[in-house]
Amino acid sequence: MDRAWIRRLLQLTGVTVALALHSGMAAAQTAVFSGRVTSLGQPLGGATVGIPELGVGSVTGTDGRYNFTVDVTRARGRTLNVVARYIGYKPKTMAVTLAAGRTEKDFELEKDVLNLEQVVVTGVSDATSQKKTAFAVGVVDASQLKESPQASSPLAGMGAPAMAGCASSSRGLRDSSAT
């Protein structure tokens, strides 16, 4: 009788361990989102791609490519929106159902010349209305940004601090970690 009891106990322990390992593997499943953000076939470096509902995302490299990982247990089976944005372009949204594995999504953004008024760069980390600033405000338009080499800032001659915050006055986008 003792042997039968020990055998049952070992079987029960084995089943418990197997279930624990299986549920641990299911909890560790991830979804990897990757792709490219372009406009007229040209890569958009610095565009943001993410899932706002989960607060995850990435910034594209100079080649327009992005890559980020999501824990599937956060929203398994739900349909979520993947959004690509870039200042001066219309944001694009694609619906995806979150599942484990790799998901490749490419975005082609269109210019949005009617909604971008200007970008206000301030010496503080919060977005500030141009009318409420107590100091001189310089305006940099899109043509100046394109003419400027990537290594230097078009704001360098304006005495802009290294950690300047940027905000689009038309969309409320903000990147306070810009260097």
Higher pLDDT, 148 or 97: 97
Cβ atoms of residues 108 and 38 within 8 Å: yes
CA-to-CA dists, residue 26 to 23, 62, 99, angstroms: 5, 35, 11
- Sketch the domain layout of the chain as residue ranges: 28-108, 119-175
3-state SS, residue 120: strand
Strand extents, DSSP E, 110-164: 119-122
Residue 177's contacts (CB-CB under 8 Å, 6 or more residues apart) are 163
Please write the tens of the pLDDT for every residue from 51-106: 999 999 999 999 999 999 998 888 777 889 999 999 889 999 999 888 888 989 99
Mean pLDDT of 29-41: 92
Higher pLDDT, 93 or 131: 93
Class of domain 28-108: mainly beta
pTM of the predicted protein model: 0.53
Cβ atoms of residues 167 and 119 within 8 Å: yes
CA 126/CA 175 separation, integer angstroms: 9
Burial class (CB in 10 A: 0-12, 13-18, 19+), 50: buried
Pairing, β 30-39 against β 107-108:
parallel
Average pLDDT taken over every residue of the chain: 74
User: Tokens representing 52?
Assistant: 């706002």
CA 179/CA 175 separation, integer angstroms: 10
- Confidence class for position 124, pLDDT limits 50, 70, 90: low
Strand extents, DSSP E, the chain: 30-39, 42-43, 48-51, 56-59, 65-71, 79-85, 92-97, 101-104, 107-108, 119-122, 165-168, 174-175
